[in-house]
Amino acid sequence: MLHLVVVIRTLGVLLLVYSVAIIPPLLISVGYQDGEWPYWLIIWMEALLLGWVMWWPLRRRELDLHRRDGFTIVTLFWFILGFISAVPFLFMPQLDFSDAVFEAISAFTTTGATVIVGLDQLPPSILFWRQELQWLGGIGVIVTAVAILPMLGIGGMQLYRAETPGPIKGEKLTPRIAQTARALWFIYGGLTITCATAYWLAGMSWFDAVAHSLTTVSTGGFSTHDDSLAYFDSALIEAIACLFMLLGAINFGIHYLALHKGRIDLYWRQDEIRIFLKVVAILIALIAATLFLSGTYTHPLTALRYAAFQTISVITSTGYGTADFSLWPLFLPVLLIFSSFMGGCAGSTAGGMKVIRFLLLVKQGRREIYRLVHPQIVRTLKIDGRPVAEEVTSAVWGFFSLYILLFAILMMVLMAYGMDQVTAFGAVATCLNNLGPGLGEVATNFIGVSDGAKWLLSFAMLAGRLELFTVLVLFSRIFWRS
Amino acid sequence: MLHLVVVIRTLGVLLLVYSVAIIPPLLISVGYQDGEWPYWLIIWMEALLLGWVMWWPLRRRELDLHRRDGFTIVTLFWFILGFISAVPFLFMPQLDFSDAVFEAISAFTTTGATVIVGLDQLPPSILFWRQELQWLGGIGVIVTAVAILPMLGIGGMQLYRAETPGPIKGEKLTPRIAQTARALWFIYGGLTITCATAYWLAGMSWFDAVAHSLTTVSTGGFSTHDDSLAYFDSALIEAIACLFMLLGAINFGIHYLALHKGRIDLYWRQDEIRIFLKVVAILIALIAATLFLSGTYTHPLTALRYAAFQTISVITSTGYGTADFSLWPLFLPVLLIFSSFMGGCAGSTAGGMKVIRFLLLVKQGRREIYRLVHPQIVRTLKIDGRPVAEEVTSAVWGFFSLYILLFAILMMVLMAYGMDQVTAFGAVATCLNNLGPGLGEVATNFIGVSDGAKWLLSFAMLAGRLELFTVLVLFSRIFWRS
Ligand SMILES: [K+]
Ligand SMILES: [K+]
């Protein structure tokens, strides 16, 4: 029962912090006079009240968070905030409850799958809320991934223990999280402001510049226009987006170290970042060549432009579009969806399984072949020149197989709801990988999807965002038995 | 160069043995007067001559096979025999070279994907040849999997070292293989004769009974009728087929032990067999219920009959059909194809990744969750009550990730040939898992597939049959460098 107290109090505090997030749309609502301000006021007060009720009565209990509470708090935090963030969407006539929760969880997990069309006609405060939610989700996942999950030992994230700022203090989470979170907010905020300024200089309105910077750095992918970034039709804006999507998909622990030590070469010294950029370059070349040779774009530079943007958008799991890649010929749609399974670097806002895990998989495959040829020689796996503990490797295998298994099961359940195979494949992939656009019926939005499927996909987005185990461990008997 | 000598001589001997296989279709051709006998005579003499040329000049060299020659010999053996077995198909006017090789490799790997329709009108000797090839491939894969691959250390097959009959003599393969092979032939032959007799008693003609027993025990799935086992429309025949498909998909090392020690309880003592039968039972129940509730079959027992047969046929990777499961509603086609990824037990004729590897994956997943909750307690993975070496587990992870990777790459290459997503998914799955029937355009046959795709799929069948690494190691620099 002691633990339940900590869980509730911590969530209360987080909720009080969260209530601050409702001030920007409230101000925008008043400023743009879109008539939504009473709703925002109600929601703000509700969040304040709920947070206060959860925190105040328990505020004096001297308690420290322990490892196992971490799973419950992280999962509940994302779950509850998903629901609370859905409240503003409930006031939109075209959305029912399932829609609103789907949209909010999609935003908060930086997935960016939407059930809304007609964005260009929405009230500015609602539009801004979607963008802001993704931005908050982005910093949420960075803090979760860099500061919390490594200590919980999720799916090989321990790899990052040594990388991240701040000391490690055994089982106690609180002091370390606060310190790390501050450094990460600083970098995240800085990147966002730079990105917004760049967008504005490139010709966006201030509103659009800010709104899109929030979903670029967070690799969220929501836009204020139905046409996404194609609305601006500007190569410069696309280039800016590409740069900041890539920065958002790189480990924020490394951003911190590079900034802290003033050494830009640190980026290139990381195996994960190097491989990530190499894979991106190879994919762009392959896709541009295929687009050009298949006659989809008649000029090689046009092919390169669209290939580069869509590739970076998908592999960083942002999901902006300047073209509907699901209509591209041959293997291109499937290749892009596959690439989102890799995703960006761990400790970033990107989704997917993360480059580091793929790197380990590939290295393990190579080591296996080496062992077959030289069975008497033992080779250790190394990342960044340091040996990887067997414990970490086996955590990654566990993660990988669970990912594949969950993918297969979710895909079949969606088909049981009557979805066709291509749509189900795309829908599960895009939600589990926190990407946004899918294939088939869900290539651009999820309006046509049944309510049951929406709930299932909301679960997939949360599970993917929290590296599966954080969520799934709560469903295990072992967790509750002891 | 010394090694090349061994490789050639061994292949020569194997070819001489193989030439015996051409006598049955030769006799059948004469007996049924189908006019094909001159072809069979030519092919027989060619095999004898080629084998003799490879063996005779090198016969006096005193050499033992070593570990690394194993990879080359096994791969070359399957590759060369695939090509040689294609020769009879070249005499059929409707098949070109790619078709003939595809059909032969499909037969020899016990896949059972076909490019021939109009089976009921084919000359008996050709029909019999297809069936016999699968039977030979079946015993070939058992010997390879039980006696050879464990010593090469492929993908966790070392697990079976302790199970299999005969002593282990370090690096020398020859004496052990011969002894093991003899015991396995005996069991395999016995099962086939029993199966043929049962089919005959159930009402098949002698020719059909023998022909189908050859592809039941080998889980090959070729039939002498275009309608496969639906031709007989007999629940009794289907039940016999189910029993022998299951027996064919169980580890032949266990068959040997159970027979040798006269203890039938040994089957149920194996984790792998127990889980396999449980999964089969659960799938049948789920599929039967879905077929009935969706109204595909109006009587529950009819639903059960078709569910049981198709499930057992697919999960044992046999590929017989009494219904076209690719047209079943909802998730059923995909579920069945997914189940073929698991396949049957290791050391059997079944395809897929094998139950034992899935068991390890699941146990690893569970151990991961346990470790998250109790990070200080170390648990070892156990199969049949004995701990599994970390070396074996990591070999299985390597295998699993390579399997998924190869699957994704092959699927995209097929789409580059212009195949649609569902067909490409089904085609790669069915070939890599040595199943036979696919989805979409390749649900019943591979006639509509382009030549390039046929070659690629032939490669997939061989790679799947030889547990990937046996083949892929030959493409690695490490193998050739030392
Ligand atoms: K996204
Ligand atoms: K088969």
Ligand number nearest to the C-alpha of B320:
2
Which pLDDT band holds residue B69 (cuts at 50, 70, 90)? confident
Q: Which long-range contacts (CB under 8 A, 24 or more apart) does B31-36 make?
A: B32/B123, B32/B124, B32/B125, B34/B123, B34/B124, B34/B125, B34/B126, B35/B123, B36/B88, B36/B91, B36/B123, B36/B125, B36/B126
Whether the per-residue pLDDT at A155 is higher than 60: the answer is no
Whether the per-residue pLDDT at B177 is higher than 70: the answer is no
Q: Residue for token digits 């050709």?
A: B126
Mean pLDDT over all residues of chain A?
A: 83
Contact B152, B70 (CB under 8 A): yes
Which pLDDT band holds residue A241 (cuts at 50, 70, 90)? very high
Segment of A36-40, A351-355, A360-364, B83-87 carrying the highest mean pLDDT? A351-355
Average pLDDT over residues A317-324: 86
> What distances in angstroms separate CA B463 from CA B75, B87, B115, B373, B475, one per listed residue?
9, 22, 20, 39, 12
Which of A4-8, A327-331, B23-27, B32-36 shows the lowest mean pLDDT across its residues? A4-8
Q: Is the sign of the CA dihedral A291, A296, A301, A304 positive or negative? A: negative
Residue scoring higher pLDDT (A464 or A373): A464
Alpha carbon of A344 to ligand 1 centroid (Å): 11
Whether the per-residue pLDDT at B176 is higher than 70: the answer is no
- A vs B, Cβ pairs < 8 A, gives 150
Whether the per-residue pLDDT at A476 is higher than 80: the answer is no
Which of B65-69, B187-191, B361-365, B372-376 shows the lowest mean pLDDT across its residues? B65-69
Q: What is the pLDDT of residue A164?
A: 40
What ipTM, to 2 d.p.?
0.84
A395 touches chain B (CB under 8 A): yes
Q: Which residues pair with B386 in a beta bridge?
A: B383
Decide if B368 and A405 are in contact by the 8 Å CB cutoff: no
Of A154, A162, A113, which Cα lies nearest the Cα of A134?
A: A113
Segment of A351-355, B72-76, B164-168 carrying the highest mean pLDDT? A351-355
**CA A332 to centroid of chain Cα atoms:** 23
Whether the per-residue pLDDT at A296 is higher than 60: the answer is yes
Q: What is the pLDDT of residue A32?
A: 84
Which pLDDT band holds residue A370 (cuts at 50, 70, 90)? confident
Q: Which B residues in the span 458-477 are in contact with A, Cβ-Cβ below 8 Å?
A: 469, 472-473, 476
Segment of A38-42, B93-97, B220-224 carrying the highest mean pLDDT? B220-224
HSE toward the beta carbon, residue A95, CA cutoff 13 A: 24
Token pair, residue B152, equals: 């090469």
Token pair, residue A35, equals: 């008539």
**How far is residue B320's CA from residue B229's CA, in Å, rounded to a whole number?**
6
Shortest alpha-carbon distance between residue A332 and chain B (Å) = 8
Q: Which candidate in B168, B334, B369 is best for mutational testing of the A interface (most A CBs within 10 A)?
A: B369
pLDDT in tens, A423-461: 999 999 999 999 988 888 888 888 888 888 899 999 999
Q: What is the pLDDT of residue B163?
A: 40
Q: Which candidate in B379, B397, B419, B478 is best for mutational testing of the A interface (most A CBs within 10 A)?
A: B397
The count of other CB atoms within 10 Å of the CB of residue B275 is 17
Alpha carbon of B317 to ligand 2 centroid (Å): 5
Chain B residues with beta carbon closer than 8 angstroms to that of A413: 331
Average pLDDT over residues B428-453: 87
Q: What is the pLDDT of residue A153?
A: 65
> What distances in angstroms separate CA A414 from CA A7, A36, B166, B335, B429, one per listed residue?
33, 36, 49, 12, 20
- The domain segmentation of chain B, as residue ranges, is 355-481
Which of A370-384, B86-100, B151-165, B184-198 shows the lowest mean pLDDT across its residues? B151-165
Which of B306-320, B375-389, B423-437 shows the lowest mean pLDDT across its residues? B375-389
B41 marked among binding-site residues: no
> What distances in angstroms separate CA B186 from CA B20, B256, B386, one per listed residue?
17, 9, 29
Residue scoring higher pLDDT (B381 or B317): B317
Residue scoring higher pLDDT (A48 or B73): A48
Q: What is the pLDDT of residue B164?
A: 40
Contact A466, A77 (CB under 8 A): no
A327 touches chain B (CB under 8 A): no
A216 marked among binding-site residues: no
Segment of A92-101, B36-45, B408-417 carrying the highest mean pLDDT? B408-417
Token pair, residue A322, equals: 């300047």
A318 marked among binding-site residues: yes
Distance from first CA to last CA of chain B, Å, rounded?
Answer: 13
Which pLDDT band holds residue B277 (cuts at 50, 70, 90)? very high
Q: What is the pLDDT of residue A276?
A: 93
**How far is residue B472's CA from residue B75's CA, in Å, rounded to a whole number?**
10
Which pLDDT band holds residue A199 (cuts at 50, 70, 90)? very high
Alpha carbon of A442 to ligand 1 centroid (Å): 14
B411 touches chain A (CB under 8 A): yes
Q: What is the pLDDT of residue B168?
A: 37
pLDDT in tens, B369-401: 888 777 777 788 888 888 887 777 878 888 888
DSSP A388: P
**CA B110 to centroid of chain Cα atoms:** 4
**How far is residue B338's CA from residue B358's CA, in Å, rounded to a whole number?**
12
Instruction: Please give the share of chain B, as a percent, with pLDDT higher than 70.
Output: 91
pLDDT in tens, A383-423: 888 888 777 787 888 888 888 889 999 999 998 888 888 89
Smallest Cβ–Cβ distance between A369 and the set B418, B439, B473 belongs to B473
